[in-house]
Amino acid sequence: MLTLPAPARRLPRRRGIAPAQAIALGFGAAILVGTALLMLPFSSRSGVWTNFVDALFTSTSAVCVTGLIVVDTATYWSPFGKVVILLLIQLGGLGIMLFAALIGFALARKLSVRSRIFAGTETKSTGVGDMKRTAIGILITTVIIEAAVATVLFVRFWTGYDYDVGRAAWHAVFHAVSSFNNAGFALYTDSLIGFVSDPWICIPICIAIILGGLGFPVLRQLRKEFRNPLHWSMNTRIVLVATLVLLTLGTGFTVVVEWDNPGTLGPLDPASRMLAGFFHSVQARTAGFNSVDTSLMHDETWLVTDVLMFIGGGPAGTAGGIKVTTFAVLLFIMWTEFRGGTAVNVFGKRLSRSVHREAITVVIVALAAVMSAVIAILAMTDLDLDRVLFEVVSAFGTVGMSTGITADLPAAAQLILVLLMFLGRLGPLTLGSALALRQRQTAYELPKERPAIG
């Protein structure tokens, strides 16, 4: 009897790790390393071990450039612990994959295709061949802006507040890095309330926050074609216009509502009130510093701040939120529907239909995450909805502003905020892609049908 050979067994195809998965794993690894370092006795000023939840929360807040804290940065952490936080902020701001690509370039003098793709996913760059210049350009831009802001702050701390050279330099560098990366960590127990009337401190920090929040693609195009606005991309135009509008509206609303509030702007002179209102509006772009007591603001200000924090800054930068481009796309879609149009046109160009779906998906996922967290924390505590919503949106938007309830939350609620900070930094679609096991493509389309809307 003739026995036929068994058919060769087909080996399963090995799948490489997707860029989004690599970014999520990179951020997760950095958070765990930071947690381990912050737990060590010499990371705390008292020399005791820091419990896991506090260390994890602080590490996540630093890597995800948020700024929410459960222990006082100024008094709890030792110099070593503060340096660890500063490094985690810088690492999270640049992006884990971009950092890895830069290290690989320094060692091997070249970027692999995989490293370029990873860095491109993090920086939203187009074109694999351009990643080498993009990575170097991002690093140079970061160093220049942080150095410039640190220089101004150093001079002010040294000459205006009688800091010695070492202390002035340390405070200048820390707050320059924290501001450009939209982190919001401060070396003062009351954040920057002590400098509420000092434009030489507040304005440089605001400039760094705004530049970081614009996003690297916008900064790059402005550097190359600042005098040729007709050549600006749709992304650059949307980010700049939306940033200007939101900053103006946020400043005006805060100043008007809080003008006579004795707990915030009331005790200040008119010029300082305007400065504090502008400063608060800038912080809502996901920075997280505060120059007045946020917990004493009116409920209306909290709600508007919630909206600003949820929107966030520009894509591919150091800001969080759903991004101003996502918010603007939804507005343009709505305006087109109101006018009965068929195509969404933005600044003389037609918007791709895939962008419609992406924007809607981002907003739905973000709203689901925020609402789920609010419901869960309300069930765990007896806190008011206003404060819980503010805290949750601040965590998801990687902002860091707080009404003062973070440290008093139960450990389970703090872990929910940790997950929100992680989700907010990576972005709903990026995290969803990282968690997806595979992508399925169908070879057919189903017949169309239109349900009733509204």
Per residue in 298-327, pLDDT (tens digit) is: 999 999 999 999 999 988 788 889 999 999
Query: Average pLDDT of 6-25?
Result: 59
Rounded CA-CA distance 277/264 in Å is: 10
How confident is the model over 126-138, as a mean pLDDT? 66
Tally of CB atoms within 10 A around 3: 5
> How many Å separate Cα 18 from the centre of its chain?
22
- Contact predicate 44/55, CB 8 Å: no
* pLDDT tens digits along 399-409: 999 999 999 99
The helix/strand/coil state of 77 is: strand
Is the pLDDT higher at 425 or at 51?
A: 51
- Report how far residue 105's alpha carbon sits from residue 55's, in angstroms, rounded to the nearest whole number: 32
Report which DSSP code applies to 382. Answer: -
Q: Picking from 49-53, 371-375, 422-426, which range would have the lowest pLDDT averaged per residue? A: 422-426
CB burial of 94-119 (b: ≥16 within 10 Å; e: otherwise) equals: bbbbbbbbbebbeeeeebeebbbbbb
Q: How confident is the model at residue 376 (pLDDT cuts 50, 70, 90)?
A: very high
Percent of the chain beyond pLDDT 90?
63
Tokens 């200048």 sit at which residue? 172
Q: Which stretch of DSSP H or E encloses residue 206?
A: helix 199-214
Asked if residue 100 has pLDDT above 60, the reply is: no
Q: What is the band of 125 on the pLDDT scale with cuts at 50, 70, 90?
A: low
Highest mean pLDDT among 75-79, 118-122, 316-320: 75-79
Q: In this predicted structure, what is the pLDDT of residue 420?
A: 95
Residue 249, pLDDT above cutoff 90: yes
Angle between helices 165-180 and 79-94 (to 10 degrees): 30
Q: Is the pLDDT reported for residue 381 higher than 70? A: yes
pLDDT of residue 442: 67
Cα(239)–Cα(328) distance, integer angstroms: 9
What lies within 8 Å, CB to CB, of 78 at 6+ separation is 42, 43, 44, 45, 47
Query: What is the structure's pLDDT at 133?
Result: 75
User: What's residue 295's pLDDT?
Assistant: 93
Dihedral sign (CA 229, 232, 236, 238): positive
Distance, CA of 68 to chain centre: 12
Q: How many C-beta neighbours within 10 Å does residue 50 have?
A: 22
Q: How far is CA 270 from CA 193, 257, 315, 355, in A?
A: 17, 14, 35, 44
What is the model's pLDDT at position 11? 46
- At residue 70, the pLDDT reads 95
**Predicted local confidence at residue 109, as pLDDT:** 46
Model confidence pLDDT, tens digit, residues 142-163: 999 999 999 999 999 999 999 9
On whether the CB atoms of residues 45 and 29 are closer than 8 A, the answer is no
Model pTM? 0.88
Question: Which tokens belong to 319?
Answer: 């800001």
Q: What is the pLDDT of residue 224?
A: 87
Do 266 and 259 touch, CB atoms closer than 8 A?
A: yes
pLDDT at 181 over 60: yes
Give the 3-state secondary structure of residue 445: coil
How confident is the model over 232-253, as a mean pLDDT?
94
Flag whether pLDDT at 129 surpasses 60.
no
- The DSSP code sequence of 231-300 is G--HHHHHHHHHHHHHHHHHHHHHHHHHTT-TTTTTTS-HHHHHHHHHHHHHHTTTT---SS-GGGS-HH
Does residue 190 have a pLDDT over 90? yes
Judge contact between 160 and 149, C-beta under 8 A.
no
Calculate the average pLDDT of the chain: 86
Task: Label residue 66 by pLDDT band (50, 70, 90).
Answer: very high
For 71, half-sphere exposure in the C-beta direction (CA atoms, 13 angstrom radius) is: 23
